[in-house]
Chains A and B, each alone.
Chain A
Amino acid sequence: MGKIQTILQANKLAQGLLLAAFILVTAGAVYLIDRSVTAFLLMLASLLLLYYTSFSNGMKWSIAIFLLVIVIPFATSGGTSRESYMEVATQCGIYVAMALGLNIVVGFAGLLDMGFIAFFAVGAYTYGIFATGQANNFISGELFPLSGGSFWIFILIGGFIAGIFGILLGLPVLRVKGDYLAIVTLGFGEIIRIIFNNLEKPVNITNGAMGLSSIQPPDLFGFQFTFPHQFYFIVIGILLIVIFAVRRLEHSRLGRSWKAVRENEIAAQSMGIPLIRTKLMAFAIGASFSGMMGVVFAAKQTFIDPTSFTLIESITILVMVVLGGMGSVPGVILGASLVTILNLQVLTEFTSWLNQLSQQGIFEVPNALSPSKMQRFIFGMILILVAVFRPHGLIAARNRRLPPEAVKDPSPPLSKPEVQPD
């Protein structure tokens, strides 16, 4: 076994062949077998396998995009359960983007935000209010609902407004440190939810607990996006932009200041990092990713109400970040995918399997213990276990290392004496 490993590590061709074989087998299985969750999960696992190959970064990216844009949609188009696969993949994408946003706040800047779903809600309601007749209640002139073509611009608007809310939350919170911050953001998340739940009077803005229904689907030159396999491409597009942005941000000046603030606020400040601006930027950028995905979520569901934005959702996203590894982009992507799949596929499949067993009378499972209700327990256990045994998560964050010769100052200092001693 060790021998095979060394051969594989040394030989890129062998890695490529193995990866190709794996992709072919799993994609073929997904295409041919109807409703096989295992095959679908294994196919997604090929992305993880790809991460561990030793190809160059550009190569990895091209293969990943090829897999996401061509192989996965094609392989799932075979059977009757196409839409359910694509639904899972779309949800995965939405959650990955949100977890990446939270990762900026929690992982990079070290500010524990427990009300992150509030920004998702802000994004969703931004599109929801204007893409239904709801906005007619407070803007005169029967201009609404806006057509589905406005969806594309609303992705930006939703992100922008969520970013403003991020700054609004950030401003008071700046004076608060550490654990207080968690509590305040928790309260903020609840406040937003309660307000959305009750803002039907004096002016009916959010339609209260009834929610907003029949939200316009997106529309691109007359082509309407209604099915999950169509939304998949929108989500993948946004996701790629988000991942690219996060990777660029991480090693930028701003990203390095975030990490400095996380490690030691006072030291960072004395090194000249503007504390307020750095923290606010973390809140704003993290929130805007979440807001963009909120717009997509509203358009995909065509129905939103405050129950989609409860505390458990905030915790779910936090679990994704903590499980994957705070501050680690590949880790967070992995964590988000794992938790979403666990939620949507594994738990439901397991529940129906248990139900079958108890129907056949083999094994009695009380309804109270049904796995689909055990989310809180499972998430809680993940949080405790990761905190105690693996505080850096599945894929720990690594700082980028420069080769030693790059660190040595290439340009001579200005005050260097002109005449060298012989």
Chain B
Amino acid sequence: MFSSILQTLPQVLIDGLALGAIYAVVALGYTMVYGILELINFAHGEIFMTGAFVGTAVLFIFQGAGWLTDMPAWLSYVLIILIAMLVTGALGVGIERVAYRPLRKAPKLILLISAFGVSFVLQDVIRFIAELKTGNYIISTPQLFDQRYQLPLSSISSWFTDASVKANTLFIFAIAIVLMIGLDIFVNRTKWGGAMRAVAQDRETASLMSINVNKVIVLTFFIGSALGGSTGVLFAQQYGTIDPYIGFILGLKAFTAAVLGGIGNIRGAMFGGIVLGVLEMFASSNLGILTGGNFGAEYKDVFAFMILIIVLIFKPEGIFGKAIKEKV
């Protein structure tokens, strides 16, 4: 049993890291919005999904215009991601304006209900557009990088079997690292980032220090949503098929990642995403082996939610978060 787990471990790690990178970038959107508004932007999973669809649509347009063959693949990939980021960023700003800003003083329950509403509307609008254009809402995406590289691990040690890496996986790592480092520098080193942190700490005092709070909130939504949208493109390229309902479960898991790292904490979200991705991949390939075939990979979502529930019970502030005492 142990050896069979060990044999697949390199492959599990590679796939888990790819999935984890996706979770991590989506989790950033949750954590940023939560840090500033103390709101779980439940529609964030749907923004991710919209990004996947926008990216695929742009890819089809490029294909139709024949640009794909003229451009190097990486250039069109980057272009697609940038366009998807712009569209989803604008979408996030629009959502904030329509569904959250009028409710800023309302009880949290109402805000959350509104967020769920947005998420359902987005799902159906995307389904409608996709079904209208292609006749089916489940869409398979053409892959820009479909090479696979073999890693001859069995020649290093007989404990491992060979693993393979998709070219796209490498691309995911690259993009995710660029985005995460970029965000970290932006938040910690720039003037706007300072304003963001100030608003997150104390909105009223920040506004007294001549920070335009509304602008900061809009910027936060733009950046968070753009990150979500870019991951959507990466996801579509990695797994090949997308449908309007992928955002729900993935959003939930990314949220789990954000909670795991301590919600409101940007570096924590990155860490939580990676951990969750690896754990989930490990569970999905090994649950069957560990339980003697009784519970298989179909329980991997249950596993992820159990992690969420356990973290919330025993360490609700997350691994890197600080416990906050509620004031009367």
Listed in ascending order, the chain A residues whose CB lies under 8 Å from chain B are 106, 110, 112, 114, 172, 175-176, 178-180, 182-184, 186-188, 190-191, 194-195, 197-198, 201-202, 266-267, 311, 315, 318, 322, 326, 366-369, 373-377, 379-388, 391
Contact = CB atoms under 8 A, between A and B. Distances in A.
Contact of A266 (B103, B312, B328): B328
Contact of B125 (A110, A114, A377): A377
A388 B102 contact: yes
Interface string B103-143: 10011111111101111111111011001100001000000
Nearest to A209: B298
Interface of B: 39-40, 42, 98-99, 102-103, 106-114, 116-125, 127-128, 131-132, 137, 248-249, 252, 255, 259, 293-296, 298-299, 301-302, 305-306, 308-309, 312-313, 316, 326, 328
Nearest to B308: A187
Contacts of B132: 366, 368-369
A168 to B, nearest CB: 11
Name B's interface SS.
helix
**B109, B111, B299 — most chain A CB neighbours (10 Å):** B109
A172 B316 CA distance: 11
Given A380-B117, A380-B119, A388-B114, A175 B305 contact: no
Contacts of B296: 198
B316 A176 contact: yes
A186 B253 CA distance: 12
B109 A112 contact: yes
B103 A376 contact: no
B131 A368 contact: yes
16 contacts: A175-B313, A178-B109, A179-B40, A180-B259, A180-B316, A182-B42, A182-B112, A184-B312, A187-B252, A266-B328, A368-B127, A369-B132, A377-B121, A384-B118, A385-B117, A387-B103
B301 A194 contact: yes
Contacts of B102: 388
A387 B302 contact: no
A360 to B, nearest CB: 22
Given A183-B308, A377-B124, A195 B111 contact: no
B305 A387 contact: no
A197 B302 CA distance: 12
Contact of B294 (A172, A194, A202): A202
Contacts of A388: 99, 102-103, 114
Contact of B108 (A114, A178, A373, A376): A178
Contacts of B124: 374-377, 380
B294 A387 contact: no
B316 A384 contact: no
Contacts of B119: 380
B106 to A, nearest CB: 6
A266 B120 contact: no
A191 B103 contact: no
Contacts of B99: 384, 387-388
